[in-house]
Structure 1
Amino acid sequence: MDPRISKQRTALVLDQPFFGALALRLKVVEDPSCKTFWTDGESLGYNPAYLGGLNDLETRGVIAHEVLHVANGHCWRQGDRDPKLWNDACDYAINPIVYDAGMLLPKGVLVDARFKGKSAEEIYGILAQEKRQKEKQQEKQQGKGKQDGGKPDAQSGQQSAQPPKQPDRAPGGNSPPQSTNANGATTPSASPDPGATADAAPSCGEVRQYRGDDKAQKEADWKVAVLQAAKAAKMRGVLGGSLEGMVQLAVEPVVDWRTILQRFAQESSPTDYRFAMPNRRYLHMGLYLPSLNEPAVGDAVFVRDASGSVFDATQAQFDAEILVVNETVRPRRLIVLDCDTRVKQVQIFERGDAVELLPVRGGGGTSFVDPFKRLADEGIHPAFLVYLTDMDGTFPTDEPSYPVLWASTKPLRRAKKAPFGEMMEVIC
């Protein structure tokens, strides 16, 4: 281990006990193959050349940065997300906490005021949406260029000038304007071009997905360690508000929204065993056993918020779960409505039909009233209704008689509370 890392880890134990106690849990590994630092929840890797370019305070801040990746569970929650974009989202989530603790980070780290208080999953959704929008714009420009004969300027027919030279980037990405906080630490202001983060240089510390077979146990052990470290730091009076809030969120149990959706749909679908209709399969044996009396499940209604506030990736995953629920529950009809202020698209599939959902149609404001009114006007009484939305809109004044599940794309702690029905958090 480089003596500078040992020294700064000891400094964290003395001055920042929350970070110090957790840093001691990571095995330090010299890794010239990486660009900066990295952690996977078990080890703390570093490039000695990169470390040589940091001063002591920056080294301390980078160690704290890596500790927060693990404390927040970033090593366990990546899933099949794009690793680069996930790393950027995680950096946006934790870098402000490092600064709030009075520590320093290298120039060029990712900080954006838009993301303050948001989880890595929320930030990832925003970055992914911005990246897709940027790619669509580029595709449109390329298509326009082909229509114009491949000339950058179809009107003048002249070749465009060379693009201006981009400013040099500091290690870690774009270097936004700097300011100094009350603790003397230098903090960057909001990134002037958030959409460009996907192409930014590497951050000061990479988060890698934990690959061990004991992932669940490792995650549980870290949650206990985070609670213990927070308690020790609080007793010494050095657990700031940002850290305390982060700890509460980090140790919350995570429930997969897909499980909640399946449970809701199945509990809303009547299935019973009755002796009134004996199982004919065993009558020849003189046995009167109950048969599964499964009345045709009524209509299953799913409403997709079409106001544009629900990201494409979330819509796609929700659509996939609609298909799963349809196969599992097998309702009489599957009804999918798209609504912004009004219902803009209706898709109805009979039981046994091949289901291919059309893209969401809409784009206006948000009101939740019209889907419920539409069902009532047409005399449709569904077995259940699931509404995917960010919860920012006008709710109906009357509660329907059928079960309703609000699938909130905003964390429940910040989402507007629905006046009726259940709520679940859908963060993809």
Structure 2
Amino acid sequence: MNEVETKLAAAKTRLILDKPFLGALVLRLPLKAATWCRTTATDARTLYYNPRWIEGLSAGEVQFALAHEALHCALGHFARRGHRIQRKWDLACDFAVNPILVDEGLTPPAEALVLDVYRGMAAEEIYPCIDDSNDDSRMMDEHVWDGAEGGDGGGQGKQNEAQGKGKSRAEKIDAHAGGSNQQKVGAGETAGDGENDPPPPLSAREKEQLKEQWQRHLAVAAQRAREAGKLSGQLARLADAALAAQVSWRALLAQYLSQIARDDYTWQRPSRREGEVIWPSLRSHGGDLHVALDISGSVTEKDLADFLGELNALKGALPVRITLHACDSALAEGGPWFFEPWDELRLPRQFSGGGGTVFTPVFEWIERAGAQPDALIYFTDADGEFPRQAPNYPVLWLVKGKAPVPFGRRIQLN
């Protein structure tokens, strides 16, 4: 190996030892030297680097550069742009990733854009905060998963169309990077055909396939880092949020309700009067479900109605008895409300939210009543005061927002 390759290998090794979550993600990206790239770049398949730029970095800065590209991929930035302006989206992605890496103790290169005001925000939240004309400085890296004209790379036709409008994609990337060695594409060639050209943009199908792959890589990396005891709280929340966003809360809720309310056969020994032969008999288990609504005002009436509508549709196919609670800092007057399996689940009245959010009253009511529900489902933004101890029954938190929960199963509302 030459000096640059040795430096890159050492940076990967150090990440694996010190930051196993980030290191595991970096290992998923093959490294490839590229003269068309000013610093580093990725298309969610390969990590491209300019050897001259790597030469001028410290060991810590190389670790930052590698982790930066891997985190873009793990968070699916290449598949989340939609119809947003490419330049603004690329900036928003960098503003989202860089503070995370700084908080993890990595050293950013001079080219890295780090703004504290965007700390803890997702790229979608940062995007509208960026002015349309914002071109204040170069980004550290190149995001080459999209076409130069924006959107997906739909194949040869779109690439040729982009070339017909002026500069080729390779020339535009090189011009943006400020490089002096422009890669020209001749007649009949497309960007990515030559050894020293950028890769072609991803198609919509390729983005979806890579998105699923990186979701699996993210889950494995988080699990291994947890087992090693080296997954920080920030990265754990980041991984949980990224994975939860891909799962439909409706599907998870339906799956859970089908488990607690079911018709099944039992082989329990019958009464002697029924004879000596044991025949399987059908037993119906009606689920006893408690549902709590956060009415503090942070969750809108429409949100509550939509949630109850979905739950009502699921309940119609399952024998579930529901006890409905409404709570902000205290339980709402007139509650709780009881709904048998054949009753329509609906809001008993309009609630005027106010005050803070305290979750304890719901748990205290269940304890006083001596109830043992199959589950408690709490619809909330999870921004409030929790009980000190988890109850001895399952709790599902349907969370609108980013706040964590201290116990139970957290399901992110899309």
Q: TM-score, normalised by structure 1?
A: 0.47
Q: What TM-score do you get using the length of structure 2 for normalisation?
A: 0.49
